[in-house]
Amino acid sequence: MSERLSRKQLYDLVWSEPLRTSSVRFGISDVALKKTCQRASIPTPERGYWARKEAGKKTLVPALPERLPAMEDEVLIGGGSQYGYRQWTREELFSPPPPLPQFEASIETVRERIAKIIGTLTVPRDVRVWHPAIQNLLKEDEATREEQRAFSSSGDKSLFDSSLERRRLRLLNSLFVAIGKFNGRPLPEKDARKASLSFYNQHLILSLVPSKERPRRYAPAAPRENGENRLILSILESWGSDKEVKAWQDDDHSKLERKMAEIAVEVVLLAEVRYREAVVRQHHRRIERKAELEEEDRRRVIEAERTERERLKQLEKARIDHLLNDAAACQQASAIREYVAKIQRAQSLSSTISAEELQQWIDWALAQANRIDPSIGDVFVMGMRAEQK
């Protein structure tokens, strides 16, 4: 069955017993468990480790690497999506809630670690190897040009012919390579003016456009510089929004090329910040969900109590109605018997029918009285017993 463990818990588990043993717990293969560990940057014992350990030979247990920015600390094992919407079982929700999430490293410490890994970031004039995401754009553009040539000899225009567009590709290429060190996966639009950057379950929207294309609420576009528009690189709030979370642009002192290391650091750091915010939101959502279930339970109890009160009310009414019906039937039975007695007295004085026919009628009439009389036997309690079941 699927289960969620922290990276540290899973690390301790896979180094306490063979993967083949641990995997049975989750209903998956040891290969699948190993891949799960790899995605979470958790080292696993190499082939022969357990045999050497059992033989008393020296073995090496590597330390658990630090969590990469935006990487989930909670690992889903044995089914479902690691990055899907988190749902808790009722048992989880009503167990003692975990404390408010705490992060070992401060944001500034994480910033320093990111900057150290990125180091110096250059944007070469001549790119020898393009990032796969940029290479795909160039291939798609070339395929479009080939189609254009088939219909028109003049149809040979590329999206990236101008020096501005080639510069845009070079800037993005350097940025994509840098964030790739943190599992950043870029998905640029066809014209490379906008791109989605995914860090595990966190997604950022990047915009790289000339300043004249900036939203109107900002200052007018800067003048052309050396024949090229000044570029603005922005992180947008969301895909359909023009609101900038962070932005950098060419200015009189330096171009974006000199700011790419800073930009890469801030992009990766923002993914970590959003991850932490998501973790805290998830914590609060768990508490809210428990409160919602408690409220649903409370309302369910109230409704059940109301339904039971209504049932008892209806039951009591039915019992009283039954009692009144029995009382009426008893009166009817008494009336029949009195009537039979009156007929007997009258017939004894002056009989108009034979004694045999009279007796038949008397027997029949008394039988009817006995049939409807609830006081005979336990008929008078039968209705109440039936209502109580």
Summarised one tens digit per residue, pLDDT across range 281-328 is 999 999 999 999 999 999 999 999 999 999 999 999 988 998 999 999
Residue ranges of domains in the chain: 3-84, 119-253
What whole-number distance in Å separates Cα of residue 164 and Cα of residue 223? 14
So what's the pLDDT on residue 81?
A: 52
Average pLDDT over residues 48-64: 93
* pLDDT average, residue stretch 64-91: 81
Query: Alpha-carbon distance 377 to 360, whole Å?
Result: 24
Q: CA quadruple 7, 8, 11, 16: dihedral positive or negative?
A: negative
What local confidence, expressed as pLDDT, does residue 382 receive? 67
State the CB neighbour count (10 A cutoff) for residue 165.
Answer: 16
The pLDDT confidence band at residue 383, using thresholds 50, 70 and 90, is low
pLDDT digits (tens, 9 = 90+) for 231-259: 999 999 988 888 999 999 998 889 999 99
d(CA 293, CA 90): 9
Say if residue 39's pLDDT is above 70: yes
How is residue 105 written in tokens?
């490293």
The pLDDT tens digits of the residues spanning 101-158 come to 889 899 999 999 999 999 999 999 999 999 999 999 999 999 888 887 777 766 567 8
pLDDT of residue 119: 95
Residue 384: the pLDDT is: 67
Nearest CA among 320, 322, 314, 313 for reference residue 383: 322
Three-state SS at 247:
strand
Q: Is the pLDDT of residue 17 over 80?
A: yes
Over 60: is that where the pLDDT of 83 sits? no
Q: What is the pLDDT of residue 228?
A: 52
Q: How far apart are CA 78 and CA 32, in angstroms?
A: 8
The model carries a pTM of 0.77
Q: How far is CA 78 from CA 1, 81, 85, 335, in A?
A: 6, 10, 16, 80
pLDDT at 220 over 50: no
pLDDT of amino acid 78: 81
The HSE-up count of residue 38 (CA atoms within 13 Å, CB side) is: 8
Query: Which run of H or E residues covers position 157?
Result: none
Distance between CA atoms of residues 29 and 143, nearest Å: 42
Burial tier of 366 (Cβ tally within 10 Å: 0-12, 13-18, 19+): middle
Q: Are 172 and 233 spatial neighbours (Cβ–Cβ below 8 Å)?
A: no
377 burial level (CB within 10 Å; 0-12, 13-18, 19+) = exposed
Identify the pLDDT of residue 89: 85
Amino acid identity of residue 245, one-letter, is V
Alpha helices in 94-131 (DSSP H): 107-118
